[in-house]
Amino acid sequence: MEDRIILIDKPAGMSSFGVVAKVRGHLKAEFGHKVKVGHTGTLDPFATGLLILLSGKNTKKSNEFLKLDKVYGATIKLGSVSSTGDPEGEIVEKGDRNIDLKEIQDTLKQFTGEIEQKPPKFSAIKIDGQRAYKLARKGQDFEMPSRKVVIYKIEILEYEYPILKIRCHVSSGTYIRTLAEDIGEKLGVGAYCLELRRLKIGDYDIKNAEKLEKYLTT
């Protein structure tokens, strides 16, 4: 059946659009003609985890998925900043103050609930009809509008300075890269998101996702 909801465990190093292209090619070979395929929200190339694709007539249902809450696992590197908020940018060492766990816990509490967040310039958000990351790559100066998002829960999984591993349940539109940077700024040492993995979108779980390799064969 062409009309599918496809759960993919996106590998690192590939764009979400690249994943869509691979799945589209596979379905074309399977059915002998072009099949429409779209995503319901991207993941950054460095990130891994749950990506929901829709095919055929189901592509019309994308809006039903866009506003769903999400759960992420993230590794934050304290003491350094990145020009993109992730490992793909220019990394600069900023501080080496060894922060105790209590200070981390107190800081994370300040980010729980409804907060104002300014999305990163290296993102797919459109500014005057153009993707922000394209403007940023050209070195153009522009302002990203802030937005209200909700951080329902942040759980510390592991901490040994400078590595902080967290699991967070957030509303749609929340950028974990920005959250990592804001945490680092609040602590006064800087930070960026070293690793990011999306675990859930609404009730859809990474445990039920397929590896992309399945769609690399025709």
Helix axes 176-187, 101-109, angle to 10 degrees: 120
Marked catalytic residue, from 9, 44, 86, 182: 44
Could you give the CA distance from residue 60 to residue 88 in angstroms, rounded to a whole number?
A: 33
Listed in sequence order, the DSSP H helices in 86-175 are 101-109, 132-137
141 catalytic? Reply is no
Listed in sequence order, the DSSP H helices in 49-202 are 63-66, 101-109, 132-137, 176-187
Could you give the CA distance from residue 9 to residue 53 in angstroms, rounded to a whole number?
A: 11
For every residue of 179-208, DSSP letters joined together read: HHHHHHHHHTS-EEEEEEEEEEETTEEGGG
Residue (of 131, 129, 125, 167) closest to 146 by Cα position:
125
Tokens matching residue 23: 């799945």
**C-alpha angle 115/179/78, rounded to 5°?**
140
Catalytic residue ranges: 44
